Chain A
Amino acid sequence: MSSSLARYVDITGEDVVNQLRQLAEPLAGKRVVHVNSTRVGGGVAEILAKLVPLMRELGIETTWEVITGDPDFFSVTKSFHNALQGNRVPISASQYDHYEAVNRENAKTLSEKLASADLVFVHDPQPAPLLSFIPKRRGSWIWRCHIDASRPHRPVWKHLRGFVEGYDASIFSLPDFAQRLPHPQYIIPPSIDPLSEKNVDLPASEIDEVCRRHGIDRTRRLAVQVSRFDWFKDPVGVIEAFQLARRSCPDLQLVLAGGTAADDPEGAAVLDAVNTAANGDPDIHILLLPPDAHREINAIQRAADVVLQKSIKEGFGLTVTEALWKARPVIGGNVGGIRLQVIDHHTGFLVSTPEGAALRMCYLLQRPDRLRTMGEKAREFVRENFLLTRHLREYLTVMVALTTGMKDRIELA
Chain B
Amino acid sequence: MTRPTPTASGEELQFRVKDCALAALATGERAQNLKELRDKLTTVDPASIYYHFWGTLLRPVFDDPRYNNDFAIWVFDALHDQPLAERLGVLDPVDFYDMEELRRELLDIIDEELDLVEVLPWTPRESQFHFMRSQIVVFDSQLTVIDPAGLAGAVSAMSVGSVFYHFVDARRRTPDGIDDFRTWLQGLPGDYSAACDRLAQVDPFFRSLVEIREELFEALLETLTG
Partner-B contacts on A (CB < 8 A): 15, 18-19, 22-23, 150-151, 172, 175-176, 178-181, 184-188, 343, 346, 377, 381, 384-385, 393-394, 397-398, 400-401, 407-413
Contact present for A401 and B28 (CB under 8 Å): no
Binds A, one of B7-15, B105-113, B137-145: B137-145
Least CB distance from A332 to B in Å reads 15
Partner-A contacts on B (CB < 8 A): 16, 18-19, 21, 23-28, 47, 60, 62, 125-126, 130, 132, 134-142, 159
Contact present for A151 and B125 (CB under 8 Å): yes
Contact present for B24 and A410 (CB under 8 Å): no
Contact present for A409 and B21 (CB under 8 Å): no
With A15-B19, A384-B60 as contacts: A22 and B25 at CB distance below 8 Å: no
Contact present for B135 and A407 (CB under 8 Å): yes
| Listed A/B pairs (20) with beta-carbon separation below 8 Å | A19-B21, A172-B26, A175-B130, A179-B28, A184-B25, A185-B25, A185-B28, A186-B23, A346-B62, A377-B62, A384-B60, A397-B135, A407-B135, A408-B134, A408-B136, A409-B136, A410-B135, A412-B139, A412-B140, A413-B140
Contact present for B139 and A22 (CB under 8 Å): yes
Least CB distance from A86 to B in Å reads 11
Contact present for A411 and B23 (CB under 8 Å): no
Q: How far is the CA of A407 from the CA of B138 in the complex (A)?
A: 12
The list of the 8 closest CB pairs from A to B, nearest first, reads A178-B26, A413-B140, A175-B130, A187-B24, A185-B26, A346-B62, A410-B137, A397-B23
Contacts of A411 in B (CB 8 A): 138
Contact present for A19 and B19 (CB under 8 Å): yes
Least CB distance from A317 to B in Å reads 16
Contact present for B130 and A176 (CB under 8 Å): yes
Least CB distance from B27 to A in Å reads 8
Least CB distance from A346 to B in Å reads 5
Contact present for B26 and A412 (CB under 8 Å): no
Contacts of B130 in A (CB 8 A): 175-176, 178
- The one of B16, B23, B28, B139 that contacts A398, using a Cβ cutoff of 8 Å: B23
With A187-B26, A398-B23, A408-B47 as contacts: A381 and B139 at CB distance below 8 Å: no
Contacts of B24 in A (CB 8 A): 175, 186-188
Contact present for A401 and B135 (CB under 8 Å): yes
Interface-central residue, B135, B137, B142, by most chain A CB under 10 Å: B137
Contacts of A408 in B (CB 8 A): 47, 134-136
Contact present for A412 and B60 (CB under 8 Å): no
Contact present for A409 and B135 (CB under 8 Å): yes
Contact present for B139 and A343 (CB under 8 Å): no
Contact present for A18 and B142 (CB under 8 Å): yes
Contacts of B138 in A (CB 8 A): 409-413
Q: How far is the CA of A218 from the CA of B79 in the complex (A)?
A: 47
Q: How far is the CA of A22 from the CA of B161 in the complex (A)?
A: 15
Contact present for A394 and B23 (CB under 8 Å): yes
Q: How far is the CA of A18 from the CA of B162 in the complex (A)?
A: 14
Contact present for A385 and B19 (CB under 8 Å): no
Instruction: Find the A residue at minimum CB distance from B45.
Output: A408
Q: How far is the CA of A410 from the CA of B21 in the complex (A)?
A: 10
Contacts of B47 in A (CB 8 A): 408
Q: How far is the CA of A343 from the CA of B63 in the complex (A)?
A: 11
- The one of B18, B21, B28, B136 that contacts A393, using a Cβ cutoff of 8 Å: B21
Q: How far is the CA of A220 from the CA of B26 in the complex (A)?
A: 46
Contacts of A184 in B (CB 8 A): 25
Q: How far is the CA of A346 from the CA of B137 in the complex (A)?
A: 30
Least CB distance from B79 to A in Å reads 17
- The one of B21, B25, B28, B140 that contacts A186, using a Cβ cutoff of 8 Å: B25
